[in-house]
């Protein structure tokens, strides 16, 4: 009798597991039924609460390589500079940002809103449009219009974000562009400039066992 109960119990558990799996598979299918491979790749990236990856940041005078780790609103961005030193942008609590430098072994309070950084890892806007192919990089460009000013108390300037653009190939993120400019009260606004981040080794189930989101140095005295 006991063996029969165990047999039926395992059968019930198996049915429950199959029902739950079917439910989530159905939800995934309905959610993505009318979306392209590129849209699904981007939505999957945005929906992930834990993510990490490598990047190469292109600037006019030099390039910087680095890595990022994101846990909800907490994040850590590590830049490897050409002189061998590292610098970090860290939010240990999802509310404040700190800039830390191993060259001077100190940190400074950041002057950019955490919400601005969140544009890098979560859906920047509902205003999305495909701009077609980037033939040089062989990827599809998808633009998210942000059109928003980010400002925090105590900062010397606010920052306007025009748009964030992703380029995707075969379901993989190739690069991300940010278009925006600083806004200083009483001064004429500059034209927006574009910062490009080539992305690689994207992990949407990142483990933070060996990653600390705490700042590593004391705050410098102003």
Tell me, what's the pLDDT at 183?
Answer: 86
Kindly state whether residue 19 falls inside one of the protein's structural domains: yes
Tell me, what's the pLDDT at 120?
Answer: 95
101 within 8 A of 92, measured Cβ to Cβ? no
202 within 8 A of 51, measured Cβ to Cβ? yes
Question: Starting from the edge strand earliest in sequence, which strands make up the sheet with 139-150, in order?
Answer: 106-109, 98-101, 86-91, 74-80, 63-71, 50-58, 193-203, 172-183, 158-169, 139-150, 128-134
DSSP classification of residue 83: T
Q: What are phi and psi of 174, to 5 degrees?
A: -95, -50
CA dist., res. 197 & res. 177, Å (int): 6
Do 96 and 6 belong to one domain? no
Do 141 and 90 belong to one domain? yes
Range of the domain at 15: 1-34
Tell me, what's the pLDDT at 158?
Answer: 87
Kindly state whether residue 208 falls inside one of the protein's structural domains: no
Do 46 and 140 belong to one domain? yes
Tell me, what's the pLDDT at 14?
Answer: 67
Kindly state whether residue 218 falls inside one of the protein's structural domains: no
Tell me, what's the pLDDT at 44?
Answer: 96
Along the 222 residues of the chain, how does pLDDT read in single tens digits?
555 555 566 666 767 776 665 555 444 455 555 678 999 999 999 999 999 999 999 876 667 899 999 999 999 999 987 778 899 999 999 999 999 999 999 999 988 889 999 999 999 999 999 999 999 999 999 999 999 999 877 677 888 999 999 999 999 999 999 999 988 877 777 788 999 999 999 999 998 988 999 999 999 876
List of E strands, the chain: 50-58, 63-71, 74-80, 86-91, 98-101, 106-109, 128-134, 139-150, 158-169, 172-183, 193-203
Do 59 and 111 belong to one domain? yes
Kindly state whether residue 69 falls inside one of the protein's structural domains: yes
Count of domains in the chain?
Answer: 2
Tokens 């430098």, located at residue = 101
In DSSP notation, 11-71 reads: HHHHHHHHHHHHHHHHHHHHHHTT--HHHHHHHHHHH-SEEEEEEEEE-SS-EEEEEEEEE
CA dist., res. 220 & res. 157, Å (int): 20
CA dist., res. 124 & res. 146, Å (int): 7
Do 125 and 181 belong to one domain? yes
Q: What is the CATH number of the domain that holds 57?
A: 2.50.20
Q: How far is CA 135 from CA 106, 132, 163, 164, 167, in A?
A: 43, 9, 21, 19, 11
Which residues, other chains included, contact 142 with Cβ-Cβ below 8 Å and sequence gap of 6+? 38, 39, 42, 128, 129, 130, 131, 165, 166, 167, 168
Rg (CA), the chain: 22
Kindly state whether residue 146 falls inside one of the protein's structural domains: yes
**pTM listed for this prediction:** 0.80
């Amino acid at each position: 009798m006991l063996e029969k109960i165990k047999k039926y119990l395992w059968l019930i558990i198996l049915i429950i597991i199959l029902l739950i799996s079917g439910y989530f598979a159905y939800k995934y299918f309905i959610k993505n039924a009318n979306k392209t491979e590129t849209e699904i790749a981007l939505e999957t990236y945005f929906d992930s609460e834990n993510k990490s990856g490598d990047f190469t940041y292109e600037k006019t005078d030099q390039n910087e390589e680095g890595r990022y780790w994101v846990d909800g609103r907490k994040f850590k961005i590590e830049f490897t500079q050409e002189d061998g030193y590292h610098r970090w942008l860290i939010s240990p609590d999802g509310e404040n940002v700190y800039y830390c430098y191993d060259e001077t072994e100190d940190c400074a309070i950041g002057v950019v809103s955490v919400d601005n950084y969140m544009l890098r890892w979560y859906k920047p806007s509902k205003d999305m449009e495909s701009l077609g192919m980037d033939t040089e990089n062989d990827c599809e460009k998808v633009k998210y219009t942000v059109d928003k000013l980010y400002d925090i108390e105590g900062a010397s300037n606010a920052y306007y974000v025009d748009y964030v653009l992703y380029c995707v190939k075969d379901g993989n993120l190739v690069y991300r562009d940010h278009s925006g400019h600083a806004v200083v009260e009483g001064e004429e606004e500059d034209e927006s400039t574009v910062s490009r981040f080539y992305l690689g080794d994207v992990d949407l189930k990142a483990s933070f066992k060996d990653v600390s989101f705490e700042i590593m140095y004391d705050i410098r005295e102003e």
